[in-house]
Amino acid sequence: METPYNTIGIAGAGAMGRGIAQIAAQSGSTVRLYDTQPEAVQRAVRELGAQWDRLQEKGRMDAAAVQAAKQRVQPAASLQELADCALVIEAVIERLDVKKALFAQLEDIVGPEAVLATNTSSLSVTAIANGLRRPQRVAGYHFFNPVPLMKVVEVIAGLKTDPAVCEGLTAYAKQMGHTPVQAQDSPGFIVNHAGRGYNTEALRIASEGVADFATIDRILRDQAGFRLGPFELMDLTGLDVSHPVMESIYRQYYDEPRYRPSAIAAQRVAGGVLGRKTSEGFYRYAEGKQQVPPEPPAPAVQEIPPVWVSTRAARRAELYQLLKDLGAKVETGQSPSAQALTLVAPLGFDVTTVAVVERLDPARTVGIDLLIEDSATKRRVLATNPATRADMRDAAHALFARDGKPVSVIRDSGGFVTQRVVATIVNIAADMCQQRVCSPRDLETAVTLGLGYPLGPLAMGDRWGPTNILEVLFNLQTVYGDPRYRPSPWLRRRGAIGLSLLQEEA
């Protein structure tokens, strides 16, 4: 099988280097595997062999293909044995000084046309190449763990990278069965940059006491369709990994508020409460099993009061139909009666602000999140304000749980939970397009493959309306007075003229 690079070198025999070696050998390349610790190379060769044997047992590779792949992986006792490689991929510790020193050595060993690729996840490709005689042949080639399963690879051009180098790496990624995406040399590249909104906004919501970790996770899984809640995800990754990335991107963007980390995460890292690996994180783990606090049942209410819906409620017609389906007695007057449960459905505003602006009795006012149509969700989310009476809260909870759909009741929050998180994700993605970090198409591909979101962030914006997302952001900025929520010009302009966020400029 022909490949753009018939013989490649891999420096670093850890999990990442081993994963790259696996897909490269399976694609037909001879792989020279080097590590400063020879036993790491031998261990990697054994583990690769065992992995291919398992694939054969499962019928996913035949005996001839397994034997050929094993023969293509050759241990290298020194860097000099990489001299004839057309491509060398570095997969060593994430330290700029170590990577620069390694490439300086390799430049004296490999041929003048050989490509040097770094698998860095957070360091500048330009900085790594700086000081080399031929920085134009250095590029980023960022794979994700586990490499055979995570099918996306970021191809990153440094400031001086020859475009032909990225073209070759792109073709090779396809040969290995991966999907390449092109990124400029910027903090976090695509996936780690686009992923800033999910965890940091969830941490901010928790820090405000809006809801506990488990409730926030339930809402984002059931209402927005994420596979893992943010706190489940951080426990799985480990805060010792995810928090430094949050801090690094925040600092590299000179303390940009959109990427601001959380003191909650910093405190947990300091205390060694890191997630699954320490049996305690945002959840506790017993024998590796997540311990989730039970969800409180819907309250038993003798009689549901009549319901009045704000004239400014989002999806007002849908809300009326839902109330009718749930058997509620709906008031249709210009203002609620003295007994009515008052429902508001704001975008971005908190329940308190709406009650004040619309001159409603806050004691009887409850909010419902209707950014996403009710029929598309597996959970309803209600919010009280500081003055909401317990009987009105319980009545709303009981009413919206009548058909068996779970209901979460949270404390007052501009944008509830889903609105805040989705709008933050969409806004960061839009600003990445504004900065020309990557194309909209590559952004969507990278995020869906690299982060497993239910939709790419720009598709999320289109799905629930750029105008609605803009309204959420403008109103969040009003409620919190925080530039974190200022809309990206890319989003603002497209929202204003009703243009798809996925449409590129001519």
* Strand order through the sheet with 341-344: 330-331, 307-309, 341-344, 365-368, 380-383, 407-410
Q: Half-sphere exposure of 368 toward its Cβ, with a 13 Å CA cutoff? A: 31
Active-site positions read 121, 142, 154, 192
Tokens, residue 63? 């005996």
Tokens, residue 114? 């050989």
Alpha carbon separation from 82 to 34, 74, 76, 314 (Å, rounded): 8, 11, 8, 62
Alpha carbon separation from 389 to 125, 361, 364 (Å, rounded): 57, 11, 6
Question: Which of 428, 434, 484 is closest to 451 using CA atoms?
Answer: 428
Q: What is the CA radius of gyration of the chain?
A: 26
C-beta neighbour count of 383 within 10 angstroms = 29
C-beta neighbour count of 27 within 10 angstroms = 22
**Do the Cβ atoms of 460 and 447 come closer than 8 Å?**
no
Partner residues linked to 341 by β-bridges: 307
**Do the Cβ atoms of 420 and 426 come closer than 8 Å?**
no
Residues 6+ apart with CB under 8 A from 211: 205, 219, 408, 410, 411, 417
Q: Which ranges constitute the DSSP H helices of 303-410? A: 316-325, 351-357, 390-400
Alpha carbon separation from 469 to 183, 248, 427 (Å, rounded): 26, 27, 8
Q: Are strands 284-286 and 179-184 parallel, antiparallel or unpaired?
A: unpaired
Grouping H, G, I as helix, E, B as strand and the rest as coil, residue 286 is strand
Kindly report the backbone phi and psi dihedral angles of residue 351, in degrees, each rounded to the nearest multiple of 5, phi listed first.
-65, -40
